[in-house]
Structures are given as C-alpha cells and as structure tokens.
Structure 1
Amino acid sequence: MDKSARLLLFTGKGGVGKTTLAAATAARLAVGGHKVLVASADPAHSLGDVFGVPVGAEPSEVDTCLYVAHVDARGLADRSWQAIRKELRGALSGLGLSDLDAAELTVLPGVDELLALTEVARLASEGPWEVVVVDCGPTAETLRLLALPEAVGGYLERLSLGSHVARLETHLDRLRVLLVDPARTSVRLVLTPERLVVAETRRTLAALALRGIRVDALIANRLVPPAKRWQGPAASWLRTRRAEQDAVLSELDSSTTLPVRRVVHRATEPIGVAALSALADDLYGTDDPLATEGPYTAPLLSIATVDGGYELTVALPLTEGSGVDLARVGDDLAITVDGVRRLVALPVLLRRHTVTDAVTGPNGLSLRFEAGGVA
C-alpha cells in the first residue's frame, strides 16, 4: 500500500450501525476531494443497501471520488487458496508426511478472512485511492480477522517449511506491519449507548491494544433526540431513555482517553450519498474525518528500573471487570485478556529474571522481575 494511504476500519457489535457510519465517513471524505474506496469485509454485505446502488467485487464509482466494493472472501478462496494450498501440500509431503496428513494440515482455519484482509490491502495498493474505509464484520469476527496474519505466520514458522512458503510468510509480515502502523491504520469502534454494548466495546479496546492496533475514536450511535419541551407519555419515555444513555456515556467518557463522538438517531434511514453526507456532518461537524484524534498506541511493553530488579508495564486499557491471566512460556509471556490470548516475546534483559509480582492499574499490567531462574 502506498505510504500516503490511510486505512480506516469500522467495527462494532452487530446492529449498531457501523456500515452506515463507514459509508457516511467515506461520503464526507469524497465531498472533501479525497479519492476514497469504501469496502465491505462483512460477510453480511449491506453497502449496496446503504448507497442504494448495486455493489460488486470490483470497485465501482458511485459518486465523484467515491468508489464502493464488496470483498468476496469465498470467491477469493476458490480462486487463490488452492494454489497456496497446493504449494504447502508439496512442502509438507517433502517432509515425509502422507498425502492425507498434508491435506489435513493445509486446511487452515480463517483462510477466508485472511484472504479478505489480503484483498483489502491489494485494492488499496493498486487503486488511485487516498483512503480506504473498511466496513468490517462484528467485533468478534474483526478481532479474529486482525489476529490472523500473526497467527498464521506463527503456524507456518513452527512448521519450518523453509523457502517453500517464504513468499507467503513475507506477505503476512507485510500485513502485520500495515495493521500495527498507527500512522496508516486505525480502528473506529461504533457502539450504541447501552451497558452491554459498552462492556463489549471496552473488551475490544483491550484486545486491540494487545495486538498493537490503534483505535482513534469511539462513535456512540443512535442517541435519543432531546425532548425537553415535549409533553405526554412519549416525551417522558424519550427523556428517561436519553437520561439512561447519557449516564452510560458519562461512565464511558470517564474510563477512556479516546474521543467519543455522538450521533443522534434519525427518523429516516440515510440512504444514498446525499443523506450519508448529511449524517457525516452530524458525526464530524467541521472536523476532518482523517484527523488523528485518539492517542497513538503506546508501546505494548516498557521497562523501568526499580529497587532490586525491573518493572515491566504492559499497556492495556483494563477495567475492574477485565479477566486477566498471565503465564511464562519460555522466553515469552502469554497474556490473556477476556479470552483473547497473545504470546509476547520478553525483552532479552528480562529473560533470566523471575516474575515476583503482577498487579493491574490504570496504565495496564505491571510485572515485577527480579534476578533468578526463569519462573
């Protein structure tokens, strides 16, 4: 991908309106003169419904500077994966595995999603676009998608296939670099102001930080409009519902340093470029949608010297309810947060030291290391 291109990934719990807000952002950028592609990586493709036009696998221009495409992961798998699978099968058979074993080993989980991510990168690198806005699937699917380059790369590395899959490993490395580059890639989490949705959003923030992927904004969608001057039972319901939403967002504001943009629920669905542009005006006001609002992702690991040893900080946005588990696996630290696990290589300085204490705090996890054998 050209270094001047930006990649904006929109995700959120199913049904929160991420597709509409991704499309609105793209429409606003196009009105501002940016060449932008909005691509759907969500299996439940609905960009065509939002724009009110047919959308296919190849980018098509729906307005000046605005292009739309669906990423057909199944079609990509049918066209591309067989060649990769054949190469892997030959390499595995060369290691003495039977044809059956080789075939079983080369049916990797998540291939469809990995190819979808690859296609997004391809479209971005080969097209004239300055920005690629991606309508991702729901958060659980998106987290799995963003973890795949590292997971599959590690899988291939453990197989020790040498030069047979060097091109594939190189490609996965490039995808990893793209995803963790905060100047080029960021995620915008869409939510509705409900406690269950906000709880999932907080878990997603921690999971993305664990992957080293930047989140630059939260978008609270479908706020009930103010009804201060209205009368009657309906107005009373609206005021009560809005008060509940404001309370939830106030708690969210106090628990994150990220900006939380707010969008009022509209009476009619925004369909088409004009309606989406109007929605984007509510979302961004006079701000530039490309402005980097959120803080850059802090280094996942940082070391400080303390009396008698070292303190390793793992920068994660944890909450009181976060489920955290740590384990030492050789020279790696296995970190699991709310079910999301990642192996992180320990700095060389700490590999011959023992973990003596671990606490959670506002800055994440703090681990105390002291001289001694490996714990």
Structure 2
Amino acid sequence: MRILLFTGKGGVGKTTLAAATAARLAVSGRKVLVASTDPAHSLGDVFGAPLTGEPSEVDTCLYAAHVDARGLVDKSWQDIRRQLRDWLAGVGLDELDAEELTVLPGVDELLALSEVARLAGQGRWEVVVVDCGPTAETLRLLALPEAIADYVDRLFMPSLRAKASALGRLAEHLGRLRRLLTDPSVTSVRLVTTPERLVVAETRRTLAALALRGIRVDSLVANRLVPRGRMWQGPAASWLRTRRAEQDAVLEELAASTPLRVHLVEHRPAEPVGVHALLELAGDLYGDADPLAEPHGGDDAVRPLVDLRPLDEGGYELAIALPLTDTAELDLARVGDDLAVTVDGVRRLVAVPVLLRRHEVTDAFIDERGLVLRFEGEA
C-alpha cells in the first residue's frame, strides 16, 4: 500500500493534480482512494460530484472523500478528552486544571491526518492519494504527531500514562502515525509549484522542512507553464514566448538545486473537471510512466537524514541531508546530547552519535550531501 501526499502553495493546482494522479492509477486497475484534508474542500468540484466524509465510488476503482476535521473533533476527541479530564481530576487535580491540561493544540488537524491513516489501514485500497492543505498548513499537520507526542510525554509520566487507558491509546496512536509518515516505502510527498520565483522559493524551504521531519519527497510538479506556440504571431504571441522563457529560467534553477525529478504540466485552456478531463491532464503529467514508478533521484529522496564518516586525518564528518539554499536561515545549537538544527524557522533535534558526544564541532559547510559538520578532538 502506498500513500501519496500532494501539497503546495495555495492556488498552484494541487487538488486537481492529486485527483488526476488518482484517476490515472485507477485506470491502471489499482483500487484508489483520494481524500482531501484541505478545509477548502474543492475535491468534489474537481470530480463534479458531491463528496462526504465516507469514501464513495466516483469511477471504476476510484473512490473519494472529504475529511471533516471539525466533525471528527466533535465525534472522537471529546470522548477522549472527557476520559482524560475525569482521570486527572481523580488523581488530585482540580476541575479547572484538568480542563486546561486536556486542551491539545492542533487536535482538529491531527484527527484529519488520523482519519486518513484509519482509511488507509482498512486494506480496501492499494493507493491512498491525499489532497493536503496549503504548504504551511501541511507542514504543521505533518509535525503534529511528533509535537503532540512530545507534549504528552512531558505532561504525563509513563507510569501515569499506563493507568489512563485513553492517554495510553493516544500515545500508541501517535507513535503509529509517526512511523507511517516517516516510512519511505509507504508514504511520500509530491510538492506542487508554479514556475515563479516566489513560489519556487517556498518550495525549497518546504523541501528542507520535510527533510527535517524525516518525511520523503519523491518528486516535484511544476504546474501551469505557458504552452509553447512556435507559430504564434502578434504582440500577444511575443508576450507568451517571453513569459515561457522566464518560466524556463526559473525551472532550470530549480532543477539545478535538487536531484528530484520535476514533472512539467502546461496550462490548459479549460479547467479539468470530471474523470475524463483529469485523465487527459494525467497524460501530460506522467506521459506513459506509472505514477508510482521510482522517479529519477529516488535514492537521494530516501537517503538517511544523518550520515557519519571518519576522516583520514582524524576526526569525523556528520552530514545532515538537508536541501539547503544560499538564502536559507540556518541556526545550530548543542542541547545536551542533541544538535538543534533550525532551518527557516523549522526546528529539529538531531541525536548526536554516541561516538561524537565528547567531540566538538570545528567547522560547518554545505555541499551536495547537505549540511556537513566536522567534529574533532574531545570536548
């Protein structure tokens, strides 16, 4: 079973491309579910069919659903929260403290992601395609399992969690969700962008943020390119050729900055609505290739976050596989036995290998491996 997460800056066409990918996979005979966690819920508009929180068949082998995060909060979280509140009150906290301690940030987004995992775990589908929200919301969404698990760990000791069945189930569930998201053989992200410098800059930042989360990106999709029209004439034709040349320059810079494959999709004269139109779009997106085929650069996409190498002259190099750019805002700090790496505001604690815990960092630089730290001597 595979899970494909589509995300990108708002308005780049990720919902349409997610739906086109799902339609293409279904035509090949795979049983596919495409689910939207985007609050905008435009997936039904793309298929031209009403959707609910329960998967419904929109074509042969193709199912679709809108995940209703608000409804999940009302249905599922309130019961867990009530159990936790009652248990906390029972171990000596007053009612107000117990109420405050059971308010977890981002629980609606977390439940939306949990619902996707639940649907994927039913075993009914070979592929689950997820239309995520805009990039910023998606990064927050994908960070939640780890963030809330850490919150629970700090708030409740393991011995107390064992006595609270609801809390224990929540901790176990968060662990499974994290493992699912960071398993490169199951889950990967496809980043959708448009060939504009501001959008591509956000895409590069997103690549680094996902790498810090340990979440695999398997390819990029550059959408809405101006079509090539060599026979066009007149002022409008000149403008279109100039615009496409600008887009090609941006794409060359993007391709040079990442080993990932960049799929190109030209702007279409009509908005694709319905399975037939989506299949035509999928033809532009994938050509004759299987959407699940390992793309060029796949080995780089799944390389380990941290790679340790000894140096011939003594000491070690620790490479952290981050797709950094010259404009990235990078901050490093040693926190006990961890290295706090912050890239463009996204922070991750990276465990320093035991071998290096009595060494100190003497140099840091960026090469094709990402961020490279040089450790020498004993602290």
Distance 1:25 1:179 in 2: 20
Distance 2:362 2:328 in 1: 21
- Normalised by the length of structure 2, the TM-score is 0.94
Distance 1:95 1:155 in 2: 19
Distance 2:268 2:93 in 1: 60
The 3 A distance-change label for structure 1 pair 368 and 97 is farther
**CA deviations over 1:139-163 (Å, ceiling 9, x no partner):** 1100111111111111111122431
4+ residue segments displaced more than 4 Å: none
Residues 98-137 of structure 1: matches in 2 within 5 Å? 98-137=94-133
The answer to whether residue 348 in structure 2 is matched with residue 346 in structure 1 is no
> Which position in structure 1 is the counterpart of 2:269?
267
**CA deviations over 1:9-40 (Å, ceiling 9, x no partner):** 00000000000000000001111111000000
> Which position in structure 1 is the counterpart of 2:59?
63
CA contact (8 A) 1:35 1:65 kept: yes
Distance 1:127 1:40 in 2: 19
> Which position in structure 2 is the counterpart of 1:335?
341
> Which position in structure 2 is the counterpart of 1:156?
152
Question: What is the Cα deviation at residue 345 of structure 1?
Answer: 2.0
**CA deviations over 1:180-220 (Å, ceiling 9, x no partner):** 11111110000100000000000000111111111111000
Equivalent residue in structure 2 for 1:203, among 202, 205, 219: 205
Question: What is the Cα deviation at residue 305 of structure 1?
Answer: 1.5
**CA deviations over 1:208-252 (Å, ceiling 9, x no partner):** 111111111100000001122111111011101101001100111
**CA deviations over 1:306-340 (Å, ceiling 9, x no partner):** 23422211111111111110111111111100111
Moved more, 12-21 or 248-257: 248-257
Question: What is the Cα deviation at residue 127 of structure 1?
Answer: 4.7
Distance 1:219 1:251 in 2: 14
1:130 maps to amino acid: E
The answer to whether residue 307 in structure 2 is matched with residue 302 in structure 1 is yes
> Which position in structure 2 is the counterpart of 1:216?
218
Moved more, 334-343 or 291-300: 291-300
- SS, match of residue 143 in structure 1: helix
> Which position in structure 2 is the counterpart of 1:357?
363
Moved more, 355-364 or 85-94: 85-94
Pairwise CA RMSD = 1.3
Distance 1:204 1:192 in 2: 14
The answer to whether residue 76 in structure 2 is matched with residue 74 in structure 1 is no
| Structure 2 spans left out of the alignment, 5+ residues | none
Distance 1:8 1:79 in 2: 27
| Structure 1 spans left out of the alignment, 5+ residues | none
Question: What is the Cα deviation at residue 99 of structure 1?
Answer: 2.0
Equivalent residue in structure 2 for 1:49, among 30, 45, 53: 45
Percent identity of paired positions between Structure 1 and Structure 2: 73
2:35 maps to amino acid: A
Equivalent residue in structure 1 for 2:14, among 18, 33, 36: 18
CA contact (8 A) 1:324 1:336 kept: yes
Distance 2:350 2:170 in 1: 22
> Which position in structure 2 is the counterpart of 1:30?
26
Distance 1:89 1:314 in 2: 41
Moved more, 153-162 or 334-343: 153-162
1:366 maps to amino acid: V
> Which position in structure 2 is the counterpart of 1:89?
85
Moved more, 158-167 or 322-331: 158-167
2:302 maps to amino acid: T
Distance 1:318 1:298 in 2: 15
